[in-house]
Amino acid sequence: MNKLILMGRLTRDPEVRYSQGENSLAIARFSIAVDRRFKRAGEPEADFFNCTSFGKQAEFVERYLKQGTKILLSGRVQNDNYTNKEGQKVYSVQVMVDEIEFAESKNASAENAGFRPAAQAPQPSQAVGDGFMNIPDGIDEELPFN
């Protein structure tokens, strides 16, 4: 079985191209950074994965995802090995995406991007679906889900 589930943020805006021919197909390529659960000094804090999606899903990626968007995806790992111009074998993997979902609310996404219109600032008692826990009155702290 080849099944992979990842949650992370897009490292750059997706690149979308359309195949040639009568029935053109959208192909979206993007990469995500996935935080490591346990961080050790001197080691990277995240792993980076190159991802590809096709068709309607690629059109969704083009329309709604941008750098910094937190997503949850499932797919499969595919070897993407080749020989470069110098004759050296290059080994890499590609995530072929089956499903994509947003992993945070639009408000939380804007907050993580460093932008939040004052009119949309969350109140401490907002519902869980907005990415914040219900907090009893009198507590001024926001607790985002991770």
Q: What's the per-residue H, E or C state across the chain? A: CCCEEEEEEECCCCEEEECCCCCCCEEEEEEEEEECCCCCCCCCCEEEEEEEEEHHHHHHHHHHCCCCCEEEEEEEEEECCEECCCCCEECCEEEEEEEEEECCCHHHHHHHCCCCCHHHCCCCCCCHHHCECCCCCCCCCCCECC
pLDDT at 115: 43
Give the span between the Cα atoms of 98 and 53, in whole angstroms.
7
Which position has the higher pLDDT, 137 or 27?
27
Q: What is the pLDDT of residue 116?
A: 41
Left, alpha or beta for 68 (phi > 0: left; psi -120 to 50: alpha)? left
- Give residue-wise pLDDT tens across range 55-102: 999 999 999 999 999 999 999 999 989 999 999 999 999 999 999 999
Q: Give the tens place of pLDDT for each residue, 101-116.
A: 999 887 777 776 654 4
Nearest residue to 30 (alpha-carbon basis) of 2, 70, 1: 70
pLDDT at site 15: 97
The vertex-38 CA angle with 74 and 73, nearest 5°, equals 10
Q: How far is the C-alpha of 35 from the C-alpha of 6, rounded, in Å?
A: 10
Could you tell me the residue ranges of all domains in the chain?
A: 4-103, 107-146
User: According to the model, what pLDDT value does residue 105 have?
Assistant: 83
Task: Answer whether 0.95 is exceeded by the pTM.
Answer: no
Determine the CATH number of domain 4-103. 2.40.50.140
